[in-house]
Structure 1
Amino acid sequence: MKLPAIKGFDEEAFYKYLKNTGWLMFGKILSLIVGLAIARYLGPASFGDLSFAVALVGITGAIGALGLDTFIIREIINEPSKKDEILGTSLWMRLATNALLIPVTLIIYLTYHHLSAQPGTTLTLYVALLACTSLFQSFNIIDAYFQSQVKSKYVVHVQNICLVISSIIKIGILILKLPLLYIVLALFFDALILAIGLMIIYQRKGGNITKWTFSKQRAISLLKKSFPLILSAVMVSIYMKIDAIMLKTVGSVAVGIYSAAAKISEAWYFIPVAIVTSVFPALINARKTDMQRYQKRLMNLYDLLVYISLPVALFISVFANQLIHLIYADKYEGAGIMLSIHIWSGLFVFLGSASSQYLLAEGYTKIAFYRTLTGAVINILLNVWLIPKYAGTGASVATLIACFVSCFYILLIPKTRKQGIMMLKSLFLVSLFQKIVKR
């Protein structure tokens, strides 16, 4: 599969780092199909409960990742002889943090349950089970290792195998018409088999987990570097997931309808993550050797992400109602308008993913934190105002505005303003028009 020819686009460099995207897309599309089938099967109330639990665990789980993934990649690239120390230290840091977060997550939920006076004895069990999956996700550091070696295809293959197994199990649950608890158990099983799969592929490709070591000095160093990203990741999770939690005060049905729309809207978010993750090593290398080429690659990246996200947003916003009825039949009335608004958030999520890598490459981790903090605060404040009046539609508007503000926050900072202007040029297709005129 070859990338489309775009004048001025550094095809050779991008093709080298994007050749595995097809396999990743297969996995994500399969996951999306199964996820939509689950939403249709459960209906708004039960799907709302599941979405609430997943959102809550997602926010606390962002802490457990410790913002280490990109730093692991950079550390291994810079010190390949220390990979066992880097991986071992990162794993133990994550395991310890995630173990502590399980009771913390339950305390947060029980406090929220008490304050909101929402019934949820069974929901407590769902939250507990899903919170435990973060322990298994600690082994995602193996993914970061393979990214540093530009060998992500091995991880993608493992993910797809696990996904196929998981999908078969979930489809069986739907066919047998089992209750929500079994779907939660299936999600627990997903995380477990993926952790096992990552360990197996690491061992088979010449690694040896038994050689991993823990270094207190390395741990302190990693924490100092990643601390702003930990806070940033939590802020990202908050402004992407807080809607479902705050909507719970309106009721599980409201959460379910909104989440059904958001699931379709956010189905494309793996694309910028895959692209940006793939090209990050190329950006780092270009920055070391050729700043002009580095800036050109960033501009090409912004353009590419807009070329992908803009047509999708236009199409889905026009046909939102038809898509909701096609996918969910008549179970999620009112989700169409939410989808037509929420889908535009993706445009800013795409650009934000790319500019995040720029901020990391330049060492502007504090700016990354402040912009996501700004987005999170705006989203929460808008939700407080809009959800009581407009429920899920208000939450969609809040998310869109928060994503826009978070994306272009860098325009407010003099030393990052140039990148913000580059993103605006991509957003308004200036580069495309310039290329057309030159022809």
Structure 2
Amino acid sequence: MSTFSGIKNSALLITEKCILLGLSFFNSVLLARVGGPEVFGQYAYILSMAGLFLPMTIMGLNNIVTKYIVKNPNNAHYYLKSAIIIRLYGALLAIALGLMLVLIISNPNNTYILLLITLQSFSAFYVIEFFFLAKQQVSALLKVRLIILLVLNSLKCIVILNGASLNLLIMLQGLEYVLIGSIYLLTYVKGKNHHFIKRKTSSRSYIALAQKGKWLLFSGIAATIYLKIDQIMLANIIGINAVAYYAAAAKLSEVWYVFPVLIANAFTAQLSQLKFSNYLKYQNLLQQLIVVLTLSALILSITTYFIAPALISLLYTDEYSASATILSIHIFASIFIFQRAILSKWLIIEKLYKYSLISSVCGAITNIVLNAVLIPQYGGVGAAWATVISYMIASYGFLFFHSNTKRYAQILHQAVLNFPALLKPFIKQLRLLKK
């Protein structure tokens, strides 16, 4: 499997995401302008609350499935079936906990939150995408997924223009999980993958696979907390309008986060193979990815810092002027987010799962504490600073806590010091791809 193949798969996924993110972002801006801070803030709050339960439908198994399929292709169907069953149990647990939450906490949006938690249980089937990624067959799902998301985003646009009904928007958001999950399962079963049905699994296999993913599950929960907690705390400490101003800025910042994850996913199989076949090439590829992503994030952050006021005014109108300062701070979190996409893969390949949890817990605790201190006095600006600092701790600072993770810090530092030489192979491959 060549670097060229990894870049080609990345290009396909990024092209799709560019189209979909453009539509999603357009709808977000439209909702902010048409619905105003009240509706936009409520929508962002509901998504944040439901998002806290999403890791339970993943169960930390995405990248583990890719790794095991690459290492043991003959047992690919066995691993995939076991992973789906484990994730379905996790989805049921998420629904039960969501029900407990709405019974304990009184909130006018509780019905929407529980509805979305229930519908997003279909994302348990998203693990099938990682099966196709491991097989380097990303186009198998891309076309149908693109059609579904284009239709749903178009419907969201129509709903917003006709009054921005919160009920319909949440239904469409949940329908996305239902349709994509169902289509993934149908595509896999109908693709001559009869082993999925015939190959028996056992409770022992579920327990063994769940044990492999437990650190990444807890890490995902902690990571989701420090990703979503700022908007939840803003709503409860300041008010729903503060969530709207923060969400407008965060949307402009977070819209970029998907790209490093896509690139890292596309190179996961290749990194796993090189780890065992050619360690020097493995380290070189890690450093190349770190350089490309970190440099991209740095350029993005500096550019956004200078154009933030004009950008917010242009997109959201002057009603959201408070979002400009938040954006100029929040965007610098991308430097650590981009780098972490590669760090996450390295921790999995090196079997250092518990350190993924440690890093996420450090980030979550830092974010909660800083939000509690900074939000009452500085509002959304304080939440932005809390986000940047917590990402820095979770993606870089924790590396120095243990000798095992210090190895990645050394790889990272070498990559930064040698970035001109490391960029040359990537530029060469991109030129070949263009031709």
Query: What is the TM-score of this pair, normalised by structure 1?
Result: 0.90
| Equivalent residue number for residue 185 of structure 1 | 171
Matched, 1:270 2:258: yes
The change in CA–CA distance for 1:424 and 1:246 in structure 2 (over 3 A counts) is farther
Cα displacement (A) at 1:379: 0.5
| Equivalent residue number for residue 261 of structure 1 | 249
| Partner Cα distance (1:212, 1:39) in 2 | 49
Please list, as runs of the form range in 1=range in 2, the aligned pairs for 1:12-411 lying within 5 A after superposition.
Answer: 12=4, 14-20=6-12, 21-113=14-106, 120-121=107-108, 123-208=109-194, 210-211=197-198, 213-249=200-236, 250-408=238-396, 409-411=398-400
Q: Cα RMSD between the aligned structures?
A: 2.0
CA-to-partner distance for each residue in 1:82-141, whole Å, 9 max, x for gaps? 23322222222212221221131232244343xxxxxx33x1111011111222111102
Deviates more, 1:214-223 or 1:293-302: 214-223
CA-to-partner distance for each residue in 1:172-224, whole Å, 9 max, x for gaps? 11222242111111112111111222123224433245446432121011111
| Partner Cα distance (1:226, 1:239) in 2 | 20
Contact 2:86 2:210 (C-alpha < 8 Å) held by counterparts? no
| Partner Cα distance (1:68, 1:246) in 2 | 29
| Equivalent residue number for residue 7 of structure 1 | none
Secondary structure in structure 2 of the residue aligned to 1:331: helix
| Partner Cα distance (1:156, 1:28) in 2 | 14
| Partner Cα distance (1:366, 1:96) in 2 | 22
Give the AA of the match of 2:187: I
| Partner Cα distance (2:112, 2:343) in 1 | 36
Please list, as runs of the form range in 1=range in 2, the aligned pairs for 1:394-433 lying within 5 A after superposition.
Answer: 394-408=382-396, 409-426=398-415, 429-432=416-419
| Partner Cα distance (1:100, 1:402) in 2 | 28
CA-to-partner distance for each residue in 1:51-71, whole Å, 9 max, x for gaps? 112111111211221001111
| Partner Cα distance (1:350, 1:106) in 2 | 35
CA-to-partner distance for each residue in 1:138-183, whole Å, 9 max, x for gaps? 1102111111111122222222111111012111112222421111
Q: Percent identity?
A: 25
Q: How many correspondences in the alignment?
A: 419
Contact 2:287 2:414 (C-alpha < 8 Å) held by counterparts? no
Contact 1:162 1:197 (C-alpha < 8 Å) held by counterparts? no
| Partner Cα distance (2:421, 2:90) in 1 | 50
Secondary structure in structure 2 of the residue aligned to 1:243: helix
Runs of at least 5 residues in structure 1 that lack an aligned partner in the other structure: 1-9, 114-119
The change in CA–CA distance for 1:434 and 1:197 in structure 2 (over 3 A counts) is closer
Contact 2:215 2:354 (C-alpha < 8 Å) held by counterparts? yes
| Partner Cα distance (1:358, 1:204) in 2 | 34
Contact 1:31 1:163 (C-alpha < 8 Å) held by counterparts? no
Deviates more, 1:56-65 or 1:244-253: 56-65
The change in CA–CA distance for 1:435 and 1:193 in structure 2 (over 3 A counts) is closer
| Partner Cα distance (2:131, 2:18) in 1 | 21
| Equivalent residue number for residue 117 of structure 1 | none
Runs of at least 5 residues in structure 2 that lack an aligned partner in the other structure: 424-435
| Partner Cα distance (2:177, 2:422) in 1 | 45
CA-to-partner distance for each residue in 1:252-288, whole Å, 9 max, x for gaps? 1111111111011000001001000000101001111
Moved over 4 A (4+): 433-436
Contact 2:31 2:164 (C-alpha < 8 Å) held by counterparts? no
| Partner Cα distance (2:188, 2:198) in 1 | 12
| Partner Cα distance (1:109, 1:423) in 2 | 43
The change in CA–CA distance for 1:419 and 1:185 in structure 2 (over 3 A counts) is same
